[in-house]
Amino acid sequence: MEDEHFFLKPLDTSHSEAMLQLELDNREFFQKFTPFRDHEFYTLEGQRERLNVIKSMQELDHQYSFGIHLKESGKLIGDISLFKIEREPAQTGMLGYCLDQHYNGKGYMTQTVKLMISYAFEVQKLHRIEAGVMPHNKGSIRVLEKAGFHKEGIAVKSVKINGSWEDHQMLAIINNAE
């Protein structure tokens, strides 16, 4: 999957060093929107373990994760995942993503989300994709809406972020091509 500026590649342990660098370079920025991460997460071994878990989840058909790479250099600038995949009768999954803060505002994530919607509906045959975003994360909500997601409501205190239970705006998109 690709567009004119970047390509998506399934994540595996060969991405360990690049993932570590991405996480270290954006640690403070990402931490505003992610669960607490311990010291081990920010080590090469921690990233290898994370990518091994992703591989195991893919083998179980529960998660599909892709690195976002710049076309011109191959540099890893983010990742996007379909996770919590449920098959029949729901055929649903959750969408999550992150992007290096230096590439925000360029339309990369909106295009990436659109590519993942196509992948989810056409390849994985999902019926519905959901995403949860903290209400103050207006940029991420805008990305999802531009990609076709609609707001469904607030999930009160649904995810623990930095030690506090945070509300999340729930958004979804339905596969209308079925």
Answer yes or no: is 47 within a domain: yes
Residue-number span of the structural domain to which 86 is assigned: 6-126
pLDDT tens digits along 147-171? 999 999 999 999 999 889 999 999 9
Number of domains in the chain: 1
Q: What is the 3-state secondary structure (H, E, C) of the chain?
A: CECCCEEEEECCHHHHHHHHHHHHHCHHHHHCCCCCCCHHHHCHHHHHHHHHHHHHHHHCCCCEEEEEEECCCCCEEEEEEEEEEECCCCCEEEEEEEECHHHCCCCHHHHHHHHHHHHHHHHCCCCEEEEEECCCCHHHHHHHHHCCCEEEEEEEEEEEECCEEEEEEEEEEECCCC
| CATH code of the domain in which 46 resides | 3.40.630.30
pLDDT tens digits along 15-52? 999 999 999 999 999 998 888 899 999 999 999 999 99
Answer yes or no: is 153 within a domain: no
Answer yes or no: is 69 within a domain: yes
Answer yes or no: is 147 within a domain: no
